[in-house]
A and B are shown apart, each in its own frame.
Chain A
Amino acid sequence: MNTSVDWVQLIIVVVIFGGVTVMGFMASRWRSAGHLDNLDEWGLGGRNFGTFVTWFLLGGDLYTAYTFIAVPAAMYATGAISGFFAVPYTIVAYPIVFVFMARLWSVSHRHGYVTPADFVSGRYGSKALSLAVAVTGILALMPYIALQLVGMQAVFETMGLGGNNTLAKDLPLLIAFAVLAAYTYSSGLRAPAMIAFVKDFLIYVVILVAIFYLPHVLGGWDSIFGAAQEKMAKTNPATGKPTGSFIPGNAGYVSYWTLGLGSAMALFMYPHSVTAVLSTKTRNVVRRNAAILPAYSLLLGLLALLGFMAIKANVNVKGLDGLANPQLAIPRLFDQEFPSWFAGIAFAAIAVGALVPAAIMSIAAANLFTRNIYRAFIKPSATPAEEAKVSKLASLLVKVGALVFVLAMDKTIALNLQLLGGIWILQTFPAIVVGLYTRWFHRYALLTGWAVAMVFGTISAYNVVNPATKKHFGGSLANIPFTNTPAYIALTAFVLNVLIVIVLTFLFRALKVPDGQDTTHPTDYLADRGDPGVQDLPEILDDGGAATAKS
Chain B
Amino acid sequence: MSRLSAVRPAYWISGVLLVVAVVVPLLVPTYAKTDPHLWGFPFFYWYQLMWVFLSAILVSISYRLLRAEERRRRAAQGLGDPDAPDADTKEAGQ
Instruction: Give me the interface of A with B, judged by CB distance under 8 Å.
Output: 50-52, 55, 80, 84, 87-88, 91-92, 94-96, 98-99, 215, 220-222, 224-225, 246-249, 252-253, 256-257, 260-261, 281-285, 287-288, 290-292, 294-295, 297-298, 301-302, 305, 523, 526, 528-531, 551
Whether B2 is near chain A, meaning CB under 8 Å from some CB there, is: no
B18-43 near A? 1/0 per residue, CB < 8 Å: 10011001111100111000011110
A-B contact pairs, 22 of them (CB 8 A): A87-B48, A91-B55, A92-B55, A94-B56, A95-B22, A98-B62, A220-B40, A246-B42, A247-B32, A252-B32, A281-B82, A281-B86, A282-B86, A283-B82, A288-B63, A290-B63, A292-B93, A298-B49, A301-B49, A523-B1, A530-B82, A551-B77
Query: Is B4 in contact with chain A by the CB < 8 A criterion?
Result: no
Q: Are B79 and A531 in contact (CB under 8 A)?
A: yes
- Beyond contacts A51-B92, A94-B59, A551-B1: 19 other A-B pairs, Cβ-Cβ < 8 A, are A50-B88, A51-B88, A95-B21, A95-B59, A95-B62, A220-B40, A221-B41, A222-B40, A247-B42, A247-B44, A248-B28, A248-B32, A260-B26, A287-B67, A288-B89, A292-B92, A301-B48, A302-B49, A523-B1
CB-CB contacts below 8 Å: B30-89 with A = 32-34, 39-42, 44-45, 48-49, 51-53, 55-56, 58-60, 62-63, 66-67, 70, 73-74, 77, 79-80, 82-83, 86, 88-89
| 5 nearest A-B pairs in the assembled complex, by CB-CB distance | A221-B40, A529-B82, A95-B21, A257-B26, A294-B56
Known: A92-B22, A247-B33, A285-B89. A292 touches B94 (CB 8 A): yes
Chain B contacts of A252 at CB under 8 A? 28, 32
Residue of A nearest to B93 (CB): A288
What number of A-B contacts does a CB cutoff of 8 Å give?
144
CB distance from A362 to the nearest CB of B (A): 28
Chain B residues lying within 8 Å of A95, measured Cβ to Cβ, are: 18, 21-22, 55, 58-59, 62
Chain B residues within 8 Å of A222, by CB: 40
**Complex contacts, B41 vs chain A, CB 8 Å:** 221, 225
A31 to B27, CA, bound (A): 45
A99 CA to B62 CA, complexed, in Å: 10
Instruction: Give the residues in chain A near B63, CB-CB below 8 Å.
Output: 98, 284, 287-288, 290-291
On chain A, the residues within 8 Å of B42 by CB distance are: 225, 246-247
B67 touches A284 (CB 8 A): yes
Assess A301 versus B18: contact at CB under 8 Å? Given A283-B82, A291-B93, A531-B79: no
A548-B17 Cα distance, complex, nearest whole Å: 34
Question: Count of chain B residues with Cβ under 8 Å from any Cβ of A?
Answer: 46
Whether the Cβ atoms of A50 and B45 lie closer than 8 Å is no
B18 touches A99 (CB 8 A): yes
Find out whether the CB atom of B29 lies under 8 angstroms from the CB atom of A284: no
What is the distance, in angstroms, from B24's C-beta to the closest C-beta of chain A? 9
Residue pair A92, B25 in contact (C-beta under 8 Å): yes
Interface residues of B (CB under 8 A from A): 1, 18, 21-22, 25-29, 32-34, 39-42, 44-45, 48-49, 51-53, 55-56, 58-60, 62-63, 66-67, 70, 73-74, 77, 79-80, 82-83, 86, 88-89, 92-94
Which residues does chain B contribute within 8 Å of A256, judged by CB atoms?
Answer: 28, 32
Closest CB-CB distance, B28 to chain A, in whole Å? 4
- Give the docked Cα–Cα distance between A323 and B53 (Å): 40
**Chain B neighbourhood of A283, CB < 8 A:** 82
User: In the bound complex, what is the Cα–Cα distance between A221 and B41 (angstroms)?
Assistant: 7
- Asked whether A287 lies within 8 Å of B66 as measured between CB atoms, the reply is yes
Complex Cα–Cα for A459 and B11 (A): 41
Question: Is the pair B59, A257 in contact by a Cβ cutoff of 8 Å?
Answer: no
Verify B89–A50 contact, CB threshold 8 A: yes
Residue of A whose beta carbon sits closest to that of B56: A294
Contacts of B51 in A (CB 8 A): 87-88, 91
B43 shortest CB reach to chain A, Å? 9
Instruction: Determine whether the beta carbon of A51 is less than 8 Å from that of B89.
Output: yes
Q: Which residues of B have CB within 8 Å of A287?
A: 63, 66-67
Residues of B near A529 (CB, < 8 A) are: 82
Complex Cα distance, B82 from A95, in Å, reads 23
> Are A253 and B32 touching (Cβ within 8 A)?
yes
CA distance A283 to B83 in the complex (A): 9
Q: How far is the CA of A88 from the CA of B55 in the complex (A)?
A: 10
**Contact call B22/A96, Cβ cutoff below 8 A:** yes
Residue of A87, A94, A225 touching B40 (CB-CB under 8 A): A225
Q: Could you say which residues of chain B place their CB within 8 Å of the CB of A50?
A: 86, 88-89
Residues in A with CB closer than 8 Å to B55 are 91-92, 94-95, 294
CA distance A339 to B62 in the complex (A): 45
Q: With A88-B51, A91-B55, A225-B40 in contact, is A305–B45 under 8 Å at CB?
A: yes
Q: Which residues of B contact A297 (CB under 8 A)?
A: 52
Residues of B within 8 A of A220 (CB): 40
Contact B48 A84 (CB under 8 A): yes
Residues on A with beta carbons closer than 8 Å to the beta carbon of B21 = 91-92, 94-95
**Docked pose: A92 CA to B54 CA in angstroms:** 11
Q: B77 → chain A, closest Cβ, in Å? A: 7
Of all chain B residues, which has the CB nearest A305? B45
Contact of B56 among A88, A257, A292, A526 (CB under 8 A): A292
